[in-house]
Amino acid sequence: MRGETNRGESFWRRLARRRSLMQLASTLALNSYATQGTTRGIPCPALNCYACPAAAFACPIGAIQHLIGRRQVPLYVLGVIGLVGALVGRASCGWFCPFGWFQELMYKLPTPKLRLTNRFNWTRYVVLATLVIAVPLVTREPWFCKLCPTGSLQAGIPVVALDPLIRDAIGACYWIKMGILGIFLAWMSVTRRPFCRWVCPLGALWSPLNPVSSWRLQVDQESCIRCHRCQQVCPVDIAVYQDPNAGACIRCLKCMGVCPVNCISVNSLGWSVEASRSGDPGIP
Amino acid sequence: METAPISEPQPIASSRSRVTFLVNRALIVLAVAAILGGLLFDQWHMVLRNAILL
């Protein structure tokens, strides 16, 4: 029995080691250009700017603002976000989000590092409530998009570089956006995933679903030796041994890779083949 | 070819786990219902049109 569990864990560990390949593949797939005539109506499970000339899917946050601006309840987009969140929690942030991956790459730069606690990470809910919901509802303008550093990086810079007409038309708003991007570039080189932890409204939508998602982590508290290695490698700095399904967790599985006693495992809340065969719902 | 093993399903431990399971399944049903509701209001086209115009 224990052998089976260990084989399972080694699969997840191996998968976690290839996470950057998944992030690369996701970035290419979300910006594959070819299918954008039809697939751009589908919100992608990541913060990927759909003003990017190569974007193949819609940005869920941009789509929410657009529908709210049209005085519609964004049922379709919230449904897609809710379905992804209910199935895998914030795993999309860790495995598919191009901007999340970019932040991880920036953090690898040889700069002094600053460790910040998650004490003020409620700020992403403020961003969600104001810039994504309230302000677009009143002004009918997608104000989060106007300030979003992902948009600056994926759309602002390439569009201005490629189109001389737009280059001639840029104004103060563009430079404000570039300034915000510059601040985040500096911040993400010294702190792990600052945009995900304190700003991202998509993460704010998914965070409450983490504790009830199908794909989840569990910690064997009896085996855990409280060595804190999981927290040391965690890209969002959570104490995995205390709350393995915390709202901030992006399911990157780095914690599994460093745990010296293998006390962290993945549970699928009743979706496993073995569970359905045996009639056991597989609830932890 | 290697299949994706998942940690061994464990027996139902507590009523809290049962609640988590039920909330999870309710959320999935709600999310699918929301998607269908949005499609009924043609929101897919609204999102697509906006995305293409950007």
Percent of chain B with pLDDT over 90: 54
What is the secondary structure of A244-258 as a DSSP string?
TT-TT-----HHHHH
Q: Looking at the partner chain, which of A8, A209, A282 has a beta carbon nearest the beta carbon of B27?
A: A209
Name the residue of chain A whose CA is nearest to B50's CA.
A66
Q: Is B38 in contact with A79 (Cβ distance < 8 A)?
A: yes
> DSSP code of A235?
T
The answer to whether A76 and B47 have CB atoms below 8 angstroms apart is yes
Percent of chain A with pLDDT over 90: 76
Neighbours of A263 (CB within 10 A): 21
> DSSP code of A207?
G
On the 0-12 / 13-18 / 19+ scale of CB atoms within 10 A, A170 is middle
Whole-number Å distance between alpha carbons of A146 and B1: 47
Which positions in chain B touch A6 (Cβ < 8 Å)? none
* Domain assignments of chain A as residue spans, ordered by start: 2-13+214-274, 23-208
Whole-number Å distance between alpha carbons of B40 and A78: 14
- Interface size, chain A vs chain B, as Cβ–Cβ contacts under 8 Å: 153
Q: Is B17 in contact with A284 (Cβ distance < 8 A)?
A: yes
What average pLDDT is seen over chain A?
89
Could you tell me the pLDDT band of residue A3, with boundaries at 50, 70 and 90? very low
Please tell me the distance in Å from A113's CA to the nearest CA on chain B: 35
pTM: 0.87
Please tell me the distance in Å from A24's CA to the nearest CA on chain B: 21
Query: Where do runs of H (alpha helix) occur along A131-242?
Result: 135-139, 143-147, 149-151, 157-162, 164-169, 172-190, 194-198, 201-206, 229-233
> DSSP code of A58?
B
Token representation of residue A196? 């995900």
Q: Looking at the partner chain, which of A1, A37, A214 has a beta carbon nearest the beta carbon of B24?
A: A214
Q: Is A76 in contact with B10 (Cβ distance < 8 A)?
A: no
Which positions in chain A touch B21 (Cβ < 8 Å)? 269-270, 281, 283
Token representation of residue A80? 């897609």
Instruction: Establish if A107 touches chain B: CB-CB under 8 angstroms.
Output: no
Question: What pLDDT sits at residue B51?
Answer: 85
Question: What pLDDT sits at residue A271?
Answer: 73
Whole-number Å distance between alpha carbons of A202 and A49: 12
Find the mean pLDDT for residues A148-162: 93
Whole-number Å distance between alpha carbons of A2 and A223: 13
Whole-number Å distance between alpha carbons of A46 and A55: 12
Q: Which CATH number fits domain A2-13+214-274: 3.30.70, 3.30.110, 1.20.120, 3.40.50?
A: 3.30.70
Q: How many CA atoms lie within 13 A of B29 on its CB side?
A: 6
Q: Is A77 in contact with B41 (Cβ distance < 8 A)?
A: no
Q: Looking at the partner chain, which of A41, A81, A214 has a beta carbon nearest the beta carbon of B47?
A: A41
Q: Is A82 in contact with B30 (Cβ distance < 8 A)?
A: yes
Which positions in chain B touch A7 (Cβ < 8 Å)? 5
Find the mean pLDDT for residues A146-158: 94
| ipTM score | 0.85
Please tell me the distance in Å from B12's CA to the nearest CA on chain A: 5
Instruction: Establish if A85 touches chain B: CB-CB under 8 angstroms.
Output: yes
Whole-number Å distance between alpha carbons of A94 and A101: 8
Q: Is the pLDDT of residue B4 over 60?
A: no
Whole-number Å distance between alpha carbons of A224 and A219: 7
Any bridge partners for residue B43, and if so which?
Answer: none
Name the residue of chain B whose CA is nearest to A64's CA.
B47
Question: What pLDDT sits at residue B7?
Answer: 54
Neighbours of A172 (CB within 10 A): 7
**Per-residue pLDDT reduced to its tens digit, A156-170:** 999 999 988 988 888
What is the secondary structure of A176-187 as a DSSP string?
HHHHHHHHHHHH
